[in-house]
Amino acid sequence: MKNFNYVLRNITILLVVAVTLNSCSESNEDVLIDNAANDAVELARSAEVDAASSSVTDIVTEIFEFDEVNPNSRLQPPALPDCVTITVVVEQGFREVTIDFGTEGCLVRGHILKGQIVFSYTRDIEAQEVLITYDLVDFYFDNKNVLGSRTILRTRENDNGNPQFTHNLDFTVIWPNGLQASRN
């Protein structure tokens, strides 16, 4: 029993020494706090890039689908306000659509959008594919300048018989203070 108490006492002493030696110092705490703050800022910026990208893609997709159902219509898609101007240029198998939010901006789904989204789409009837490409022209999402383009390949049926969408994105958001974040 004395042997067991001796070992237990030594283990306790070693644990106390180990905890004391490994306790946090001021420099470690500062680094942990700075890393956590940087991670939070990075996460917030990433979320803003995602919000801008999703909003633009949703608008393009909505107008594409509206145009598919109403190809000869000059009606405004119902979910967009009157401050948005849509211009469509039609050629055989090709359409170019300009969505203009103006230079003053337009409130769309809770965000102020300025500038233009110019997208085109071509249809490959044999492959049953539609290629949608959009570019941003002097575009602002809220007060952030957004540069970029995206391609969306919509395939009616892949090798497994399922619809398939392939996206390629090159997106940069520039905040008013000059900071920027990109997504490819």
Overall size of the chain counted in residues: 184
**Distance in angstroms (rounded) separating the CA atoms of residues 44 and 163:** 33
Give Rg (Cα) of the chain.
Answer: 27
Give the pLDDT score at 159. 83
**Distance in angstroms (rounded) separating the CA atoms of residues 148 and 140:** 11
Task: Specify the residue for token string 């803003």.
Answer: 48
pLDDT tens digit sequence for 143-165? 999 999 988 888 888 888 888 87
Check residues 95 and 113 and name the one with the higher pLDDT: 113
Q: How far is CA 103 from the centre of its chain?
A: 23
Lowest-confidence region among 48-57, 107-116, 168-177: 48-57
Please list the residues that pair with 132 across neighbouring strands.
121, 152
Banded model confidence at residue 2, pLDDT cuts 50, 70, 90: very low
Q: What is the signed CA dihedral for 147, 170, 108, 69, rounded to 10 degrees?
A: 130
pLDDT tens digit sequence for 127-139? 778 888 899 999 9
Return the closest-CA partner of residue 45 out of 184, 156, 180.
180
pLDDT tens digit sequence for 26-85? 555 544 556 666 667 777 777 888 888 888 888 888 888 777 766 665 556 667 888 998
Mean pLDDT of all residues in 105-111: 90
Cα angle: 74, vertex 80, 85; to 5 degrees: 50
pLDDT at 183 exceeding the cut of 90: no
Highest mean pLDDT among 28-32, 52-56, 87-91, 176-180: 176-180
Compute how many other C-beta atoms are within 10 angstroms of the C-beta atom of residue 166.
12
* Strand ranges (E), the chain: 85-91, 94-100, 106-108, 111-124, 129-141, 144-155, 164-174, 180-183
Q: The pTM is what?
A: 0.71
